[in-house]
Amino acid sequence: MPKKYTVFFKSMAKYWFFFLVIAIIVIALFNMVVAIWITLISIVLFGISYVPSLFFENNLVKLMKNYYKIEDDTIARELKRPIEKVQEKMYNLAQKQDSKPWLIVYLNKRYIFYHQETIEKFKELYSKGYGEKEILEDLQEIDLKTRSEVKAIKDTLIKHQRLR
């Protein structure tokens, strides 16, 4: 398909809901029963299309909890999903992580998940007064590689008011 058509269809896909509502209103002017049926079918199809995203988020969280640290590209490979979708879900989870025991950090255009045990150990070391270098040395068994990771964890915990 030529590029101009794909651009047209992508821009029209944003407004499919409005087209559907207008079509139902027009049909309702002529036949109310058909309009009601189309509306019900549309609602059911919309609900069905929403279900896979719920399963994906649950599978994503379940997979992440199996690792002390896991990056978005690894998750995308494990779940066989596009990295953009994984990053979008991780962004949404990161916005709601105030009360979660785990942590998602955005660093170098990547989302990194840290397990609850990693965060507890980090908080313990931080409360003892350890600096970034000492925390990095103690948490290298959990795969922390750089001081910027330690700083990103600290900044994210502070941002979400989870660090004293």
- Give the pLDDT of the chain (164 residues) as one tens digit per residue: 455 656 666 666 667 778 888 888 998 899 999 999 989 998 898 888 777 777 788 888 888 889 889 999 999 999 888 999 999 999 988 888 888 889 999 988 999 999 999 899 989 988 998 888 888 888 888 778 888 988 999 999 888 888 87
CB atoms under 10 Å from CB of 81, counted, come to 15
Claim to verify: residue 101 and residue 158 sit in the same structural domain: yes
User: In 18-140, at which residue ranges do the beta strands (DSSP E only) sit?
Assistant: 69-71, 103-107, 110-114
Q: Please tell me the distance from the alpha carbon of residue 160 to that of residue 164, in angstroms, as a whole number.
A: 11
State the pLDDT at residue 112: 93
Evaluate whether residue 57 is within a structural domain: no
Gyration radius of the chain's alpha carbons? 23
The residue segments making up the domain with residue 141 are 65-164
Claim to verify: residue 25 and residue 69 sit in the same structural domain: no
Number of separate domains in the chain: 2
Claim to verify: residue 40 and residue 92 sit in the same structural domain: no
Claim to verify: residue 77 and residue 135 sit in the same structural domain: yes
Evaluate whether residue 146 is within a structural domain: yes
Evaluate whether residue 30 is within a structural domain: yes
Evaluate whether residue 60 is within a structural domain: no
Claim to verify: residue 22 and residue 69 sit in the same structural domain: no
Claim to verify: residue 87 and residue 143 sit in the same structural domain: yes
pTM of the model: 0.68
For 106, the token pair is: 């955005």
Evaluate whether residue 58 is within a structural domain: no
Claim to verify: residue 41 and residue 79 sit in the same structural domain: no
Claim to verify: residue 41 and residue 77 sit in the same structural domain: no
State the pLDDT at residue 146: 86
Claim to verify: residue 71 and residue 151 sit in the same structural domain: yes
Claim to verify: residue 130 and residue 92 sit in the same structural domain: yes
CB atoms under 10 Å from CB of 9, counted, come to 10
